[in-house]
Amino acid sequence: MPNNPLVSDRNVEFLLYEVFDVEALCHLNAYEEHSRETFDLVLQNARKFAREVLFPTYKPMDEAPAQMVGGGIKVHPAMREVYPHLVDQGMVAATRPHEVGGQQLPHMVATVCALYGMAANLSAVSYLGLTAGAAHLIEAFGNEALKAEMMTRMYSGEWTGTMALTEPQAGSSLTDVKTRATPTERGHYLLRGNKVFISGGDHDLTENIVHLTLARIDEAPPGIKGVSLFAVPKKRLEGGKLVPNDVHCAGAFHKMGWRGIPSIALNLGENDDCQGWLVGEPHRGISYMFQMMNEARLMVGMQGIATASAAYHESLEYARTRPQGRPLTSKNPTTPQVPIIEHADVRRMLLRQKAIVEGALALGVQTARYADLAAHGATPDARRRAFLLLDMMTPIVKSFAAERGFESNALAVQIHGGYGYTSEYLPEAWLRDQKLNSLHEGTTCMHSMDLLGRKVVADQGGALRMLGEEIAAATARAASAGVDAGWGAALDRAVGTVGEVTMHLAGLGVAGQVEEMMCHSMDYLDLVSTVVVSWQWILQAAVAKEKLAESPSHASSDLYEGKICAAEYWIKTELPRVEQLAHLCRSGEGSYDRMNAAWF
Ligand SMILES: Cc1cc2nc3c(=O)[nH]c(=O)nc-3n(C[C@H](O)[C@H](O)[C@H](O)COP(=O)(O)OP(=O)(O)OC[C@H]3O[C@@H](n4cnc5c(N)ncnc54)[C@H](O)[C@@H]3O)c2cc1C
């Protein structure tokens, strides 16, 4: 639909400048060269590029996925055309320092710029998203030779990169990675193994691809502490020339979504000639990956938000223009039909989409702010606090955006009626795309266990205490801005409930009753996510109230009134679920745990 903006510019400005004050970051040394002018410039470029260049390529690429031809993958012609322009946007190294060719942009701004591209064509921007993650691993842990040979070429977009973790027997359980790495006297290792689902694992966009690969060095200890990280190029440099490195594409998966980027099976070392270079120290591969995962998972969260946002705006336009039926009170069939947005149930679905999309986006920007402060905060204490909050918030952003984003994408199909079920309209494609976000970079269940088993109990519950302080500051601000006192009180009570439930479950863990502790980890994730998104809605309502108090006939009064209404919707319809979820977590209700595999 030509009128679909994909992402609301005014909402982005509201979040960046009015709620989270991104300009305050310019007082930090790392960002002192930036100002609102530079932020607005990159945002403007990102929007224009997303809408005018990337979005028109989305449907053709969804309809004709990349193909395996003669042992290699051929991407869609539109992808080849758009790739150099994507690189020119400079987003691969946007947040990285100038020394490595980056723009040293705050994550808050870079993440929102990425959001526009993802909403326009998720697969297309993923080639570079993966490259950024892989290059950052080399920047953080690789030696100077790897940086000079591989990282620089990846940050410039000359080569791309992948994350080659998954194997047929090692998906959620990376402990079971089997790919072998045998040391040689020449310093490199010889790799042998099979990887699956490697996104961007082969293509004809660039002359080389570097796979950041998990493998086990011969004689390494079993388990997670025996897994190392290697840089394995598709072609290696010998005498200044690129020669094949015994890395083979064994086939592409036929996927329900994300069709513009191939996910392939990758065979390493079929001819015992696949050379890889160790990144960092032996046996520390998983810990390196974990250190980088906050970044990758925040980006998966943004993918979920972007996909839900594109569909929300599509359904909003549709609801404003599709005439069907008449008001309940109209008895006269000769009167014109009304646009479906006039029907209360359609507005219910749109408001739910808005509450999910804008609640999740606020949380994404908040989390990106923690990423900025964790890296560049003014004091060690500020950095530590931001790091703990970032670490705890990441599985929540990732999972909330994926799970509720899927619900929001389904509502977009529903609002389109029967047309939504056809491929002539876009919502079904975005629904297919969205499903991946609850699977890759760790399934939602893995994140629920990470949140409950590691994040909230780390540092003796330090992050959870800090979260409580942040939420209390928001409810106090809302109270003085004149937001309905009942909303803040309900949120404060819910924070208390999270604390009690966490203590109870942590106690089970300490007593060695780990299965009982984890039995309702998904409900626990839902509980904490609901509270955290309520916090974001109270905060947005507080700012909206403040702005309206400054000037009741404000030019943006529609935006502010909409924020207050969406906050009310979320607080009144979602927050009450907290009690039921808390009850489930405390009760240890165990029917599915008891359900014998033979009884199904
Ligand atoms: C399109 C696509 C792109 C991908 N891109 C990449 C990529 O670029 N690089 C890469 O390395 N990987 C990639 N992956 C792989 C992805 O990360 C894995 O699919 C994911 O980690 C899940 O692993 P699995 O598919 O083996 O599922 P499994 O691990 O077999 O899980 C199946 C189900 O069992 C559940 N489960 C598993 N273990 C447990 C447990 N201990 N407790 C409770 N429940 C459990 C899971 O939650 C899930 O519901 C991609 C996957 C897809 C589909």
Residue nearest to atom 32 of ligand 1 (CA): 172
Kindly report which listed range (12-16, 222-226, 494-498) carries the lowest average pLDDT score.
222-226
Q: How far is CA 570 from CA 172, 538, 556, in A?
A: 33, 9, 21
Give the atom of ligand 1 at the shortest distance from the alpha carbon of 166. 11
More confident residue, 374 or 3: 374
* Closest approach atom of ligand 1 to CA 253: 1
Compute the distance between CA of residue 363 and CA of residue 531 in angstroms, rounded to an integer: 11
CA 359 to chain centre: 14
Q: Given the residues 295, 314, 358, 441, select the one marked as catalytic.
A: 441
If you measure from the C-alpha of residue 398 to the centroid of ligand 1, how many angstroms do you get, rounded to a whole number? 15
Query: What does the alpha-carbon distance between residue 497 and residue 510 come to, in Å, rounded to a whole number?
Result: 20
Q: What is the pLDDT, as a whole number, of residue 381?
A: 96
Can you tell me which atom of ligand 1 is nearest the CA of 443? 47
Q: How far apart are CA 51 and CA 68, in angstroms?
A: 29
pLDDT, residue 295, reads 77
Q: Quote the CA–CA distance of 585 and 507 in Å, as a whole number.
A: 13
Alpha-carbon gap, residue 4 to 170, rounded angstroms: 40
- Give yes or no for residue 499 having a pLDDT over 90: yes
Q: Whose CA is nearest to atom 16 of ligand 1?
A: 440
Label residue 394 by pLDDT band (50, 70, 90).
very high
Instruction: Report the nearest-CA residue for atom 23 of ligand 1.
Output: 171
Indicate whether 185 pLDDT > 60: yes
- For residue 66, give the amino acid letter: A
What is the H or E stretch that residue 79 is in? helix 77-88
Which residues, judged by CB distance below 6 Å to any ligand atom, belong to the binding site of ligand 1?
Answer: 162-166, 171-172, 197-199, 255, 258, 263, 436, 439-440, 443, 445-446
- pLDDT band per the 50, 70, 90 thresholds, residue 554: confident
Q: Which fold has domain 160-283?
A: Butyryl-CoA Dehydrogenase, subunit A; domain 2 (2.40.110)
Atom of ligand 1 nearest to the CA of 214: 11
State which of 127, 174, 256, 440 you would mutate to test the pocket of ligand 1, scoring each by most atoms of that ligand within 8 A of its C-beta: 440
**Which of 432, 439, 525 is the pocket-test mutation for ligand 1 (most atoms within 8 Å of CB)?**
439
How confident is the model at residue 158, as a pLDDT? 97
Is the separation of the CB atoms in 220 and 282 below 8 Å? Answer: yes
How does residue 174 score in pLDDT terms, banded at 50, 70 and 90?
Answer: very high
Say how many Å lie between the CA of residue 133 and the centre of ligand 1.
19
CA distance 592 to 54: 45
441 is catalytic: yes
Tens-place pLDDT, residues 100-116: 889 999 999 999 999 99
Q: How far is the CA of 449 from the centre of ligand 1 (A)?
A: 14
Task: Give the 3-state secondary structure percentages of the chain, helix then strand then coil, rounded to 5.
Answer: 60, 10, 25
Q: Which atom of ligand 1 is nearest to the CA of 162?
A: 8
Question: Could you identify the atom of ligand 1 that is nearest to the CA of residue 444?
Answer: 47
In this structure, whether the domain defined by 9-155 belongs to CATH 1.10.1040.10 is answered with no
CA of 110 to the centre of ligand 1 (A): 28
Once rounded to an integer, what is the mean pLDDT over residues 560-586? 97
Amino acid identity at 342: E
The neighbouring-strand residues paired with 265 are 251
R_g (Cα) of the chain, nearest Å: 25
**Section 403-432 average pLDDT:** 98
Confidence of residue 241 (pLDDT cuts 50, 70, 90): very high
Q: Tell me the C-alpha distance between 413 and 400, whole Å.
A: 20
**Separation CA 487–CA 569 (nearest Å):** 11
Report which protein residue has its CA nearest ligand 1's atom 14: 197
Percentage of residues in the chain having pLDDT higher than 90 = 94
Question: What is the per-residue pLDDT for 501?
Answer: 98
DSSP 454-514: IITTGGGGHHHHHHHHHHHHHHHHHHHHT--HHHHHHHHHHHHHHHHHHHHHHHHHHTT-H
Select from 126, 137, 172 the residue to mutate for testing ligand 1; criterion: most ligand atoms less than 8 Å from CB: 172
Query: 160, 443, 444, 525: which to mutate for ligand 1, most atoms within 8 A of CB?
Result: 443
Instruction: Find the 440 Cα to ligand 1 centroid distance in Å.
Output: 6
What was the pLDDT predicted at 2?
Answer: 58
Q: How many CB atoms neighbour CB 264 within 10 A? A: 26
Residue nearest to atom 34 of ligand 1 (CA): 172
Please tell me the distance from the alpha carbon of residue 554 to that of residue 251, in angstroms, as a whole number.
57
- Measured in Å, residue 486 CA sits from the centre of ligand 1 at 42
**280 phi and psi angles, rounded to 5 deg:** 75, -150
How many Å lie between the centroid of ligand 1 and the Cα of residue 169?
10
- Per-residue tokens: 480: 């003085």
Check pLDDT > 60 for residue 1.
no
Q: What pLDDT band is residue 309 in, cutting at 50, 70 and 90? A: very high
Tell how far the Cα of 170 is from the centroid of ligand 1, in angstroms. Answer: 8
The C-alpha angle 432, 437, 439, rounded to 5 degrees, equals 100
Index of the ligand 1 atom closest to the CA of residue 172: 29
Per-residue pLDDT tens for 448-475? 999 999 999 988 899 999 999 999 999 9
Query: Which residue, by CA, sits nearest to atom 12 of ligand 1?
Result: 166
pLDDT(291) > 80: no
Element (H, E) at 194: strand 189-199
Whole-model pTM? 0.97
Taking the centre of ligand 1 as the mean of its atom positions, its distance from the CA of residue 82, in whole angstroms, is 30
Q: Give the span between the Cα atoms of 29 and 10, in whole angstroms.
A: 28
Distance CA 139, CA 110 (A): 18
Residue 444 has pLDDT above 70, yes or no: yes
Residue 77 has pLDDT above 90, yes or no: yes
Instruction: Please enumerate in sequence order all residues whose Cβ is within 8 A of that of 597, keeping only pairs 6 or more positions apart, or say none.
Output: none
Best residue among 165, 197, 449 to mutate for probing ligand 1, ranked by most atoms within 8 Å of CB: 197
- What's the pLDDT tens digit per position in 316-325? 999 999 999 9
Q: Nearest residue CA, atom 29 of ligand 1?
A: 172
- Residue-averaged pLDDT of the chain: 96
